[in-house]
């Protein structure tokens, strides 16, 4: 199947997406940001709809909206105890805007479907380069604040008592998360990108006992999901997102079951 | 003198937490900070650690002081994944040198955690967790340690074990200890001095002379 250029591009792109989402996911889960990751996926949809309306590439619309959305959420949650309510409010605002932009941009239903559920045939070589560069930016951002991010994500109170700039760390992480959502949406779609940002990392928590080992497990499960998903989608002609979802869920449930068995 | 507090006052909005506190701590002392709930013990600690600015007054640590701090609450749920060792290492560099690993080994040993260093923090007992918090703070190589309600949720034997370790730090390393607690009998057994914070004022003295006025 790799004799087809679009399949090769899809493999390259999804490999970098899986690595980025696998790494970022470890911190999403540790910081209990799963709900935010889900919300940012929806905001990404609005961004792509805006891009269709404005006539710019969907990736840039997504990045614009997810950055605004995550910084907005970050600001709101800093100043309120009702974290989930403020996330819901932002989410509602952006989905409303997404529906509006989609409607006034005269896009067809197929465009909406490919934003929401992803597509492997839409990725060309230029997209691959863009995704690789953006993935590298996310990884570099994380490396720059890695020590503080590790401490703050896994022991917020200890980090604060050491006068670490937890607000700055949080902001850098929100930017990295927003970019990961936009990158990941290109293959799995905005509706399901949160799967790659939460499930491999949640599974990794059952297996790893250090941050490094969790990152390795998380990336490995994300890679298994996207590679096997692409292969199965190619063979069956069913949606790649369907396969990625069920593979990640199956691995998670297996790890969860083994963890419970071991515990009892 | 390791700490000199002068006319320290703290108000939140119009509520006075404490006013014009004056006290000193001596190097190598073991002081219990006592007082009822809401008297401002944690607030005082947070000011001394530079995490909160006082409304008025001042305090001065000796210039050679290196502070270690064990906060009252931590977000460690039963599913928390990191091992005791990885948790302690959070207070360290990203890439761990051989020397840093040896320091971690040393603190694990000093806190009786070596044999369970690969146990997940989420699965560790209350006493083991407190010893891990203390070990993490000891990586800062402090000569003064502040512990906020470290024994509050522990069973009696875990309390004794932790207190024995704190006593060991004081005796063997000459570490100055400031220990926030509700537990007067425990303080009387292990501490030497007291500060009693109530109604916005502070009293100080030898713990043997402390009369329990609240209970």
Q: Is the pLDDT of residue B213 over 70?
A: no
- Residue B67 is inside which H or E element, if any? strand B67-70
- Give A60-106 pLDDT, tens digit per residue: 999 999 999 888 887 777 666 677 788 888 888 888 998 899 888 87
pLDDT, residue B212, reads 64
Rg (CA), chain B: 18
Structural class in CATH, domain A5-191: mainly alpha
CB contact under 8 A, B81 and A157: no
CA distances from A238 to A120, A246, B66 (A): 11, 13, 62
Q: Is the pLDDT of residue B153 over 90?
A: no
Q: C-alpha angle with apex B202: B197 to B203, nearest 5 degrees?
A: 105
pLDDT, residue B18, reads 92
CA distance B13 to chain A (A): 18
- Give B69-122 pLDDT, tens digit per residue: 999 888 899 999 999 999 999 999 999 999 999 999 999 999 999 999 999 999
Residues on chain A touching B90 (C-beta within 8 angstroms): 150-151, 154-155, 158-159
pLDDT, residue B188, reads 93
Query: Which candidate from A151, A160, A206 shows the least CB-CB separation from B91?
Result: A151
CA distance B47 to chain A (A): 12
Q: Is the pLDDT of residue B189 over 50?
A: yes
- Give A225-239 pLDDT, tens digit per residue: 999 999 999 999 898
pLDDT, residue B91, reads 96
Q: Is the pLDDT of residue A211 over 70?
A: yes
pLDDT, residue A192, reads 82
In this structure, are residues B67 and B73 in contact, taking their beta carbons and an 8 Å threshold? no
pLDDT, residue A35, reads 86
Task: Count CB pairs under 8 A between chains A and B.
Answer: 53
> Could you tell me which of B152, B183, B140, B192 has the C-alpha nearest to residue B28?
B192
Kind of pairing between the strands at B193-198 and B30-34:
parallel
DSSP summary character for residue B207: G
pTM of the full structure = 0.92
Q: Is the pLDDT of residue A188 over 90?
A: no
ipTM of this model? 0.91
Cβ atoms within 10 Å, residue A126:
10
CB contact under 8 A, B90 and A151: yes
Per-residue b/e over A97-115, b at no fewer than 16 CB within 10 Å? bbeebbeeeebeeebbebb
- Residue B4 is inside which H or E element, if any? strand B3-12
Q: C-alpha angle with apex B93: B90 to B94, nearest 5 degrees?
A: 85
Residues of each domain in chain B carrying CATH 3.40.50.300: 1-66+142-215
Query: Which candidate from A146, A150, A161 shows the least CB-CB separation from B69?
Result: A161
Could you please state the CATH topology (level 3) that the domain comprising B1-66+142-215 is classified under.
Rossmann fold (3.40.50)
Task: Report residue A251's pLDDT band, with 50, 70 and 90 as the boundaries.
Answer: very high
- Residue B22 is inside which H or E element, if any? strand B15-25
Per-residue three-class SS string for chain A: CCCCHHHHHHHHHHHHHHHHHHHHHHHHHHCCCHHHHHHHHHHHHHHHHHHHHHCCCHHHHHHHHHHHHHHHHHHHHHCCCCHHHHHHHHHHHHHHHHHHHHHHCCCCHHHHHHHHHCCCCCCCHHHHHHHHHHHHHHHHHHHHCHHHHHHHHHCHHHHHHCCCCHHHHHHHHHHHHHHHHHHHHHHHCCCCHHHHHHHHHHHHHHHCCCHHHHHHHHHHHHHHHHHHHHHHHHHHCCCHHHHHHHHHHHHHHHHHHHHHHHHC
Q: How far is it, in rounded angstroms, from Cα A48 to Cα A247?
A: 27
pLDDT, residue B215, reads 45
CB contact under 8 A, B87 and A157: no
Average pLDDT, chain A: 90
Query: Which candidate from B81, B94, B140 shows the least CB-CB separation from A214?
Result: B81
CA distances from A39 to A103, A192, A197, B59 (A): 21, 11, 12, 46
The answer to whether B71 contacts chain A (CB < 8 Å) is yes
Rg (CA), chain A: 18
Phi, psi of A46 (to 5 degrees): -60, -40
CA distance A160 to chain B (A): 8
CB contact under 8 A, A154 and B90: yes
Mean pLDDT throughout A45-52?
91
Mean pLDDT throughout B167-178?
95
The answer to whether B136 contacts chain A (CB < 8 Å) is yes
Mean pLDDT throughout A206-223?
97
In this structure, are residues B133 and B88 in contact, taking their beta carbons and an 8 Å threshold? no
- A interface with B, Cβ–Cβ < 8 A, is 146-147, 150-151, 154-163, 205-206, 208-211, 214
Q: How far is it, in rounded angstroms, from Cα B173 to Cα B153?
A: 27
Tokens of B108: 């694990």
């Amino acid at each position: 199947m790799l004799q087809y250029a679009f399949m090769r591009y899809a493999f390259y792109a999804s490999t970098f997406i899986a690595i980025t989402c696998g790494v970022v996911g470890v911190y999403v889960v540790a910081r209990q940001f799963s709900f935010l990751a889900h919300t940012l996926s929806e905001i990404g949809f609005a961004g792509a709809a805006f891009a269709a309306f404005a006539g710019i590439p969907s990736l840039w619309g997504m990045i614009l909206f997810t950055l605004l959305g995550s910084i907005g959420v970050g600001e709101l949650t800093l100043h309120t105890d009702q974290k989930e309510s403020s996330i819901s409010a932002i989410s509602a605002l952006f989905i409303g805007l997404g529906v509006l932009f989609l409607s006034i941009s005269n896009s067809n239903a197929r465009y909406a479907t490919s934003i929401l559920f992803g597509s492997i045939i839409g990725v060309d070589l230029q997209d691959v380069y863009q995704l690789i560069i953006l993935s590298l930016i996310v990884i570099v951002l994380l490396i720059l604040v890695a020590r503080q991010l590790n401490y703050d994500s896994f022991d917020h109170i200890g980090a604060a008592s050491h006068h670490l700039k937890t607000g700055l760390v949080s902001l850098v992480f929100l930017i990295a998360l927003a970019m990961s959502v936009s990158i990941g949406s290109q293959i799995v779609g905005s509706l399901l990108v949160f799967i790659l940002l939460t499930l491999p990392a949640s599974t990794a928590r059952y297996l790893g006992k250090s941050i490094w080992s969790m990152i390795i497990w998380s990336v490995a499960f994300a890679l298994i999901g996207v590679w096997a998903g692409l292969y199965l989608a190619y063979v069956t002609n069913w949606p790649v997102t369907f396969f990625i979802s069920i593979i990640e869920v199956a691995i998670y449930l297996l790890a969860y079951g083994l963890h419970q068995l071991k515990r009892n | 003198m390791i700490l000199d507090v002068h006319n320290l006052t703290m108000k939140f909005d119009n509520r006075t937490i404490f006013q014009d506190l004056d006290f000193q701590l001596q190097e190598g002392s073991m002081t219990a900070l006592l007082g009822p709930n809401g008297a401002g013990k944690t607030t005082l600690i947070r000011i001394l650690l530079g995490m909160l600015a006082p409304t008025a007054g001042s305090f001065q640590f000796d210039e050679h002081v290196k502070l270690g701090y064990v906060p009252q609450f931590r977000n460690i749920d039963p599913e928390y994944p990191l091992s005791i060792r990885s948790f302690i290492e959070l207070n360290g560099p990203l890439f761990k040198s051989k020397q840093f690993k040896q320091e971690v080994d040393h603190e694990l040993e000093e806190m009786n955690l070596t044999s369970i260093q690969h146990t997940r923090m989420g699965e560790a007992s209350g006493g083991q967790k407190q010893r891990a918090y203390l070990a993490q703070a000891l990586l800062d190589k402090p000569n003064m340690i502040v512990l906020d309600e470290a024994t509050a949720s522990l069973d009696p034997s875990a309390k004794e074990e932790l207190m024995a370790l704190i006593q060991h730090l004081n005796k063997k390393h000459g570490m100055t200890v400031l220990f926030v607690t509700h537990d007067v009998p425990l303080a009387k057994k292990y501490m030497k001095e007291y500060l009693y914070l109530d109604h916005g004022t502070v009293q100080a003295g030898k713990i043997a002379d402390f009369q329990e006025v609240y209970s």
